[in-house]
């Protein structure tokens, strides 16, 4: 049971404008949509019902989640499927006052099943364009390489992606972290850097601080996804603070994947106290118990040392850490200031 949260603080957390910078679009696939797409595409699922699928969402670590996550994504075959998945996310994000989203997608999860890269990106890009027009949400796509696959497979994916360069702003690195260190992808990231792509990587979720160091020093990433294990290494914290490297933290994910036993034991307050540029995000909201506002509400309810000032800092950081143009960041920050002034 989550402890109660002050009503005024809850309202502020839910209505403040925010950017979401760590959302795997395949992780927004709700069980209902998985079943609807399975039926539409004639895909057999190893679960009898929505309830049976949801009941399987009891994870012990990252890999136990990834096995189910990749199985869920198997219903995605057509351009319309990718559009419908992303559009469902955007509608949900609008409710949470997300004004900007930088969205991960895992092309190899689909191309390995014979779905063309074009199908994936065209469906996602169409939903992004629609979100701008119909919901006023700006968004960008970030292509993630699956780190359990080879460097060669990552290079092949980059080749497939380059004709669609105008539809994505950067690359990331996700999937099973342990045993797949950043340096495995040094040459791919060097090539992406030459191409002018933004660079991010998951590191320090389950993996050790050394993976964060190497994401910074070998891959030259601009943000660390998760990064919560940085606190084990004071020199690393000093480096992240000195270079203002943002961490895209996902509290509900961390608890569901047993990185922390409880939300009350999450190190978000310590990360903030260390002066790190922390943001709050949903990671895989359909699997981890909630979208971005649920992450804010449960985190603040379980960690009463977090205040209104921290709420402001986290939302402000989400704009600062985004890859959006400075004028957009200034505009959203002004809206954030107004929301806080109105709630004073």
Which of residues 84 and 283 has its CB atom nearest to ligand ADE in the complex? Answer: 283
> For every residue of 67-135, which 3-state class applies, written as one string?
HHHHHHHHHCCCHHHHHHHHHHHHHHHHHCCEEEEEEEECHHHHHCCCCCHHHHHHHHHHHHHHHHHHH
User: Residue 181, by phi and psi: left (phi above 0), alpha (psi -120 to 50) or beta?
Assistant: beta
Residues in 25-54 at the binding interface with ligand ADE, rule: CB under 6 A: 27
DSSP 3-state assignment of 34?
helix
Does residue 298 interact with Zn ion by CB under 5 A? no
Query: Closest CB to Zn ion among 69 and 82?
Result: 69
26 catalytic? Reply is no
102 lies in the site for Zn ion, by CB under 5 A: no
The first and second tokens of residue 69, run together, are: 């996550």
Q: Is 174 in the site for ligand ADE (CB under 6 A)?
A: yes
What are the residues facing 223 on neighbouring strands?
Answer: 200
Catalytic residue among 205, 232, 298, 327: 205
Q: Does 205 bind ligand ADE (CB under 6 A)?
A: yes
For Zn ion, give the closer residue by CB, 20 or 79: 20
User: Rule CB under 5 A: which of 117-136 touch Zn ion?
Assistant: none
Cβ closer to ligand ADE: 72 or 123?
A: 72
Q: How far is the CB of 135 from ligand ADE (least distance, A)?
A: 24
Residue 152 and residue 158: Cα distance in Å, rounded?
A: 10
Tokens for 150? 């080879």
DSSP state, residue 283: B
Q: In angstroms, rounded to a whole number, what is the distance separating the alpha carbons of residues 221 and 248?
A: 13
Residue nearest to ligand ADE (CB): 174
The alpha carbon torsion through 229, 234, 236, 237 (nearest 10 deg) reads 80
Report angle CA 297, 302, 304 to the nearest 5 degrees. Answer: 95
Which one of 18, 24, 198, 329 is in contact with ligand ADE (CB under 6 A)?
24
Tell me if 283 contacts Zn ion by CB under 5 A. yes
Question: 96 or 225, CB closer to Zn ion?
Answer: 225
Residue 125 makes CB contacts below 8 A (sequence gap 6+) with 141, 164, 167
Does residue 181 bind ligand ADE (CB under 6 A)? Answer: no
Residue 20 interacts with ligand ADE (CB under 6 A): yes or no: no
Question: Could you say whether residue 281 binds ligand ADE (CB under 6 A)?
Answer: no
Name which of residues 53 to 72 contact ligand ADE (CB under 6 A): 62, 69
Q: Does 253 bind ligand ADE (CB under 6 A)?
A: yes
Residue 92 site contact among Zn ion, ligand ADE, none (CB < 5 to 8 Å, cut-off depends on kind): none
Q: Which of 184, 198, 202, 329 binds ligand ADE (CB under 6 A)?
A: 202
- Closest by CA to 287, choosing from 15, 106, 103, 25, is 25
Active site residue ranges: 205
Positions touching Zn ion (CB under 5 A) are 283
Positions touching ligand ADE (CB under 6 A) are 24, 27, 62, 69, 174-175, 202, 205, 253, 283-284
């Amino acid at each position: 049971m989550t402890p109660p949260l002050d009503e005024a603080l809850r309202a502020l957390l839910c209505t403040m404008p925010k950017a979401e910078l760590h959302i795997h679009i395949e992780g927004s696939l709700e069980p209902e949509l998985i079943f609807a797409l399975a039926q539409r595409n004639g895909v057999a699922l190893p679960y009898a019902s929505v309830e049976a699928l949801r009941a399987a969402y009891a994870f012990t670590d990252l890999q136990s989640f990834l096995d189910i996550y990749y199985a869920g994504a198997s219903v995605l075959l057509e351009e319309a499927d990718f559009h419908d998945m992303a559009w469902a996310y955007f509608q949900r994000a609008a409710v949470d006052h997300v004004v900007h989203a930088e969205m991960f997608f895992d092309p190899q999860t689909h191309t390995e099943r014979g779905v063309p890269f074009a199908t994936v990106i065209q469906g996602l890009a169409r939903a992004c364009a629609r979100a701008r027009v119909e919901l006023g949400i700006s968004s960008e796509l970030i292509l993630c390489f699956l780190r359990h696959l080879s460097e060669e497979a990552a290079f092949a994916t980059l080749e497939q992606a380059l004709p669609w360069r105008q539809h994505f702003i950067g690359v990331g690195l996700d999937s099973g972290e342990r045993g797949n260190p950043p340096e495995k992808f040094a040459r791919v990231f060097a090539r992406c850097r030459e191409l002018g792509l933004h660079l991010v990587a998951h590191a320090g979720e389950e993996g050790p601080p050394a993976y964060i160091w190497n994401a910074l020093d070998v891959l030259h990433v601009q943000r660390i996804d998760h990064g919560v294990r940085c606190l084990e290494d004071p020199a690393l914290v000093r480096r992240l603070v000195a270079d203002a490297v943002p961490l895209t933290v996902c509290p509900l994910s961390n608890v569901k994947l047993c990185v922390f036993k409880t939300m009350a034991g999450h190190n978000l307050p310590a990360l903030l106290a260390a002066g790190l540029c922390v943001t709050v995000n949903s990671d895989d909201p359909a699997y981890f118990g909630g979208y971005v506002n649920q992450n804010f509400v449960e985190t603040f309810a379980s960690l009463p040392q977090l205040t209104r000032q921290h709420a402001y800092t986290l939302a402000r950081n989400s704009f600062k850490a985004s890859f959006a143009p400075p004028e957009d960041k200034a505009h959203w920050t002004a809206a954030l200031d107004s929301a806080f002034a109105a709630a004073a």
